[in-house]
Homo-oligomer: A and B are copies of this chain.
Amino acid sequence: MITSTSNPRMKEIIQLRKKSRMRTKTGTFLVEGLRMIREIPKERLVQLYATEEFLKKHRKEPIPGTEVMLVSPEVFAYISDTKTPQGVLAVVRQSMFTQEEILEKCSGKSGTGTDRPAHLLVLDNIQDPGNLGTIFRTAEAAGVTGILLSRDCADIYNPKTIRSTMGAIFRMPFVYTDDLPGAVNSLKKHDIRVFAAHLEGERAYDEEDYRQGSAFLIGNEGSGLRQEVAACADVLVRIPMEGMAESLNAAVAAAVLMFEVSRQRKRY
């Protein structure tokens, strides 16, 4: 049993929790709590850590992986990201996708057979870890086929973000890119129509047809889409607002758009 916080493995976990750079370097990230840990694809589990108390309590429940490393409750409290830790934590391998892989899974045209029309999100400088996780969670539910992120978005592997994804992190294809305008322009070559969520959009979001391949550009929480990114869109769409509301939360705006796609594709 690991009983010291100066154990090298524990030190590494603290680094993985705190430092995006460390997560990138090792190609791993942390997942906490039974519910999330159950959703880890087996082949991506690197190491599982748990307290004796946790193992006793959940003796009958299926936990992925065979070898669990025991950690004392004191040390677990030290490595955990939550105030009241459940006592189970995993190191998990990051997944890697290319933009091509994301596009292979769908098509621009309203597809037949295994092909489904693309339903993509393109995130420009989303900063709030909770928002980012919520966008992933919502995207899975709305049938999004993949997510492109500008390099300066928050780190999807941040523990708070991972928690907010509610497991979508393991299933949603995504890729960070250094050249978001370039990436968006290449979507258009695949017959994907690109819509920018924009306060000055000339069209209301529900006046457009999303049944064929569609991508949505979603901008930063405070400042919206960068001009050079918005300029890549085929159409700027706005979500009509009442009252004195000036804008919507980024995750909320994305949700309204994604579920309009889902609604249109199911209904017709």
A interface residue numbers (CB < 8 A to B)? 39, 130, 134, 137-138, 140-143, 164, 166-168, 171, 204, 206, 239-249, 251-252, 255-256, 259-260, 262-263, 266-267
Q: Who on chain B is nearest to A256 by CB?
A: B259
- Shortest 10 CB-CB distances between A and B: which pairs? A141-B245, A143-B242, A141-B241, A140-B243, A252-B255, A140-B245, A256-B259, A206-B263, A134-B249, A138-B252
**Assuming the A-B contacts A206-B267, A256-B259, are A245 and B130 also in contact, with contact meaning beta carbons closer than 8 angstroms in the complex?**
no
Please tell me how many copies of the chain the complex holds. 2
Asked whether B243 lies within 8 Å of A143 as measured between CB atoms, the reply is yes
Closest to A249 in B: B134
**Complex CA distance for A140 and B239, rounded to whole angstroms:** 13
Q: A130 — nearest CB in chain B belongs to which residue?
A: B130
Q: Nearest chain B CB to A16's CB is how many angstroms away? A: 24
Contact check: which of B244, B252, B262 meets A167 at CB < 8 Å?
B244
Give the docked Cα–Cα distance between A241 and B206 (Å).
Answer: 20
Q: Which residue of B lies closest to A246 (CB)?
A: B166
